[in-house]
Chain A
Amino acid sequence: MRADGETEYVEYVTARLPALHRTAYLLCGDAHRADDIVQATITALYRHWRRARSVENLDGYVHRILVRKHLDEVRGPWARVRLMFETPDRPASPEASVEDRDTVHRLLGGLTGAQRAVLVLRFACDLSVQEVAAVLNTSTGNVKSHTARGLAAVRRHLDVQQSGIGPAQSGIRSAER
């Protein structure tokens, strides 16, 4: 990579690192794994920077790398296949619930991997349905479906919290102010 491209790469990654880390953390729910995912993402981005800097939607391109690294890291090489074809409403990973310590972890930990990825990209990264579909390499209909089912699951969780059964009511109230 030429010096100028490298400077540009560093500028871009420096600016986007907090957001990438946040996305990775919300996707996987673990700080160390998030570090690994982001490290793998920005390393891959360096190797492909010449192509990346000429794409129309660089953030989308990087999100796509990050989601793939997340799936590779957490769930193995078949995860991408499962992400698109698994039946919904199956919890993402049993160990996630053990590690969940706050409301967000509980909310996201109860979702399928696909729902979690879609909701994080839609509502933490503020991507549109079309952009999420491009990142996940799937249809907009699939994204809408996972969004609706994911939100329904979140809604059920919030209802439980607000009915006084759940342990994290204060977090929900602050979120709805």
Chain B
Amino acid sequence: MSIEEDQGTARALHALLHETTVPPSRADIGEAVRQGRRAERRRRGAAATAAVLAVLGVVGATTAVLGRSGEARPEPARPTPVVSPGPVGTVTAEVETVPVTVTDRTLECKISPLTLPAETLQVHVRGIDPTGRFVVGAAAIMADRRPRSADGWYVLWDRKTPTLFKVPNPARLGAAVVNAEGVVAGTGNDNPGNGMVREFGWVYRNGQVQRLPMLPGYDAAHVAAITEQGDVVGHAYRLPPEGEMRGGGGAVPVRWRADGSGGPWPLSTPENGGSPVGVTRDGTVVGRHGFDKIRIWRPDGTTADLQMPPGIVRTAGWHVSGDWVAGYVAASDAQSPTPLMRWNIHTGTMYVYPNIDSQGNLGMAVTSTGRTIVSTPEDGFLLVEPDGSVGRLPTPPGAEDWPRKVDANVISDNGLLVGSAYLGPSASEGTGDYTWQCGG
């Protein structure tokens, strides 16, 4: 077989494998967690942990520190944060179903190649500011084939001009976020060398990377979002004792203020904690509690859980902008469809799109105007307009044969999307990086 035949066959096979319909998965993440916990419990042989391990979602509220044999140990001394200690309230949403039709309609967007620094081979864009001026992404330099946060190289674009910077001790997971002032925040990892990960927050401002301080009494932190004012929001947590998998303690939402007032400042008591994902226009922090609940922490110090609307048993929010939260809902605990939803936290209306199944995919974002992009395994990346119309991102030149290999999961308020497109198995780098300007 000649090289040309080889490549032609590879392209045909690639298209077939990517386009063939696959039956929906019945795998159960909750069951995997339950089994994993049981195995962990068996290993530790600690009967005292049984009650904690048996129920999904209660780990975040666990504050006891358990030793190898299950005995309680005193928690490390720490100052008690001053926040509202009241009970967790509820916030409601009124569901409005939007029966959109997903067609092959392609959006009218201006596509431009993304300029990379000279030493950069590829990037994975992670964040964009609402104005579209600043974009941040993880970079692969030199011989690295794929961009990874773990390499610590990041690119910050200011009006399409890139600057490469290095974060010492980077974390492999976690977002990089940027605001309209060009301040970038992300998560690092001290990695104490015993297989553990000890995360910390960092900020890149004026060409300098600075480590964010820890919440007193806590030894790890994870960054989720940055506000227009430069406040960084994330959560603090404690590592488990040496040699233990469990027992570190739940996540406490925190805010590092940019006004010089110190911090981080806890947003709730540990009992009312959770993991933030973003901040709304009025300063309300939106996040997760357990696996299937949206929890909010208000500027007045109160905490509330989103009450499940009728017919919905779990929901998750993954991106926040303006008054909007983008995420998905599910009608059952099993592997039921997880249609896209966008919830206006100000009006309380939750728009659910039953024909757009995210299949649990986290690749979604919303603008302050309510435009939503979502990655669906079936239909690729879709842009859902507030009026319910749905369109696909156009494929850049040179990638015509690979229509569903576009990966652009950041969008600004003025309709700038940034991401990559697959160029096929014969391309030297595999993907190219682009911007799509889709409306204003």
Cross-chain contact of A53 among B36, B172, B246, B291 (Cβ < 8 A): B172
Q: How far is the CA of A86 from the CA of B37 in the complex (A)?
A: 38
Cross-chain contact of B33 among A18, A35, A46, A148 (Cβ < 8 A): A46
Q: How far is the CA of A153 from the CA of B371 in the complex (A)?
A: 46
Chain A residues in 8 Å Cβ range of B36: 1, 43, 46-47, 49
Number of interface residues of A (CB under 8 A): 66
Q: How far is the CA of A65 from the CA of B26 in the complex (A)?
A: 18
Chain A residues in 8 Å Cβ range of B148: 56-57
Q: Are A56 and B172 within 8 A (Cβ)?
A: yes
Instruction: Say yes or no: is B5 at the interface (Cβ < 8 Å to chain A).
Output: yes
Q: Are B362 and A11 within 8 A (Cβ)?
A: yes
Q: How far is the CA of A171 from the CA of B11 in the complex (A)?
A: 14
| Number of chain B interface residues as a range | 35 or more
Which of A76-84, A89-97, A122-130, A135-143 contacts the other chain?
Answer: A122-130
Chain B residues in 8 Å Cβ range of A26: 17, 20, 22
Would you give the 0/1 interface string for A133-177, flagging 1 where the beta carbon is closer than 8 Å to chain B?
000000000000000100110110010000000000001101111
Chain B residues in 8 Å Cβ range of A2: 59, 237-240, 245-249
Within 8 A of A (CB), among B18-71: 18-20, 22-29, 31-33, 35-37, 39-40, 59-60, 62
Would you give the 0/1 interface string for A3-26, flagging 1 where the beta carbon is closer than 8 Å to chain B?
111111111111101111110011
Q: Are A1 and B249 within 8 A (Cβ)?
A: no
Q: Are B172 and A4 within 8 A (Cβ)?
A: no
Least CB distance from A1 to B in Å reads 5
Q: Chain A binding site: helix, strand, loop or mixed by DSSP?
A: helix
Q: How far is the CA of A34 from the CA of B195 in the complex (A)?
A: 31
Where the two chains meet, the residues of B that have a C-beta atom closer than 8 Å to any C-beta of A are 1, 5-6, 8-20, 22-29, 31-33, 35-37, 39-40, 59-60, 62, 145, 148, 150, 172-173, 189, 191, 195-197, 220, 222, 235, 237-240, 245-251, 275, 288, 291, 359-363, 377, 422, 425, 430
Where the two chains meet, the residues of A that have a C-beta atom closer than 8 Å to any C-beta of B are 1-15, 17-22, 25-26, 31, 34-35, 38-39, 42-43, 45-47, 49-51, 53-58, 102-104, 107, 119-120, 122-124, 126, 128, 130, 148, 151-152, 154-155, 158, 171-172, 174-177
